[in-house]
Chain A
């Protein structure tokens, strides 16, 4: 399973301050730490980025990829900032991943950008008018996103469908709906559609000391259902160990006593 390191986010105070001051060091250090811990992508979440978003995303992409040789998952609702990130992205380290398009009209443009810059794109199964009620509604939205992707010229292999993980502490039922959706998404195409989740959403709002426990148990179930990628915290060793262990169970890793150390 692909790990998309989530640590570089405007939500984190340290990152936010570095972004504002354009101080590359904290960002580069965080990216490097995630790379070392096993991340395959680095998520770069600059928020709505109304203020000089283009400049910020460009600076972020360049600063990170200067030190860390991984593709980036560019995460903003501002399309022009996103485009600036795609332009700056160094494809030598892999193709960028756009986070994200959805069934909301203002996010259709992300597909256009994916086609223009040969990027991959996350399709969040969220539409106008409220949360999807269950797995079936998520699939119906997924089918629409897929249809639209083809119109825009984005191959289905470049789409990662995201079932929209919601916090278990207030929306318990959706934990099962999202798991079921991950399984069903794969059946929407042959070869199977790729899937991705924002893992830590599941533990939003729960006491801090319980978040890792909740994240890693949910991750185990998601991997069992065939998840392709997760935006998660690679610096959480328990979480990464769970990932490695479950991959042994599902036959993605060959067992050896020291499998955790590889």
Chain B
């Protein structure tokens, strides 16, 4: 039987977003085909993995991942350097978790100082994340954006309840933005529209439809991401064309599968390998659903996903 490879004709293209400073700036996005289908489109950039660090000791992380950063995790500067120099990170994601009112409720000024300290200690791109407290992030991320002026960072996450001030700060200091909505493609589109209506260039935007861990709603994230990509490429929906971020680590390293000991859960096998696999598989699923930028924690999981990426491009 005569056969022709069935190719999809895509009308749209994912936007190319470049962050950080030369010579170590990083580009994501730019593809005009569904994930890794290079037989029918161009895929100019590989997905990028950023190592997550935070501005206070990760006491709430399970030992499996916390122990990886023993000796450096009480100091974000040392932690960042470790990721850059020893783990060869392409980018770092600094989570300003201490600013959360229920954690240490540190001030935006404190956060700004941490950002400056970390930036002056590394030469790879920085992603600056708030504590996911909508009200507090509005002030923390504004101060952080100012402190990071000139570094072409990614700031996040702007949400429906706080995007105005965060976007204004990113505009003023030339940063990129991660816009996050909660597992709803229609809300994701709406937020992107609202942000661009403020005069923010959509080419500086990254969309985060909210990650979920393997076994904890992963399929929702997976399908929302696939649908975002299909809208961007097949319907040429300009509001859905920003690259996608997957904040994998924080969703994975809080569930019971990564913390229940082998004595508690004898049917689940090695805790160490289980945790690593959980983060790696969650990330791999995000990648094939369309994620361009992953934020992860465990070096072994990152290494595994890098191997997958290497085989995918």
Q: Which residues of A contact B (CB under 8 A)?
A: 169-170, 172
Contacts and interface: CB of A to CB of B under 8 A. Distances in A.
4 contacts: A169-B186, A170-B184, A170-B186, A172-B186
A173 to B, nearest CB: 10
Contacts of A172: 186
Contacts of A169: 186
B20 to A, nearest CB: 37
Q: Which 4 pairs show the lowest CB-CB distances between chains A and B?
A: A169-B186, A170-B186, A170-B184, A172-B186
A172 B235 CA distance: 15
Interface string B178-190: 0000001010000
A36 B15 CA distance: 55
A170 B186 CA distance: 7
Contacts of B186: 169-170, 172
Contacts of B184: 170
A172 B227 CA distance: 12
Interface residues of B, number: 2
A169 B187 CA distance: 9
A169 B186 CA distance: 7
A170 B184 CA distance: 7
A239 B186 CA distance: 25
Interface in B242-267: none
A101 B182 CA distance: 35
A228 to B, nearest CB: 31
Interface string B204-237: 0000000000000000000000000000000000
A131 to B, nearest CB: 15
A72 B215 CA distance: 47
A234 to B, nearest CB: 29
A226 to B, nearest CB: 29
A201 to B, nearest CB: 16
Nearest to A171: B186
A172 B230 CA distance: 15
Interface in B121-156: none
A231 B184 CA distance: 28
Nearest to A206: B186
A170 to B, nearest CB: 6
Nearest to A167: B186
Contacts of A170: 184, 186
A169 B188 CA distance: 12
Nearest to A172: B186
A170 B223 CA distance: 13
A169 B189 CA distance: 11
Nearest to A169: B186
B260 to A, nearest CB: 31
B245 to A, nearest CB: 22
A157 to B, nearest CB: 40
B227 to A, nearest CB: 10
A241 B86 CA distance: 71
A112 to B, nearest CB: 40
A11 to B, nearest CB: 23
B311 to A, nearest CB: 34
Nearest to B186: A169
A255 B186 CA distance: 40
Nearest to A168: B186
A174 to B, nearest CB: 13
Nearest to B190: A169
A130 to B, nearest CB: 14
A167 to B, nearest CB: 10
B186 to A, nearest CB: 6
A172 B186 CA distance: 9
A202 to B, nearest CB: 14
Interface in B51-100: none
A119 to B, nearest CB: 39
A91 B184 CA distance: 47
Interface in B162-210: 184, 186
Interface string B95-126: 00000000000000000000000000000000
A169 B184 CA distance: 10
A30 to B, nearest CB: 32
A47 to B, nearest CB: 27
A31 to B, nearest CB: 36
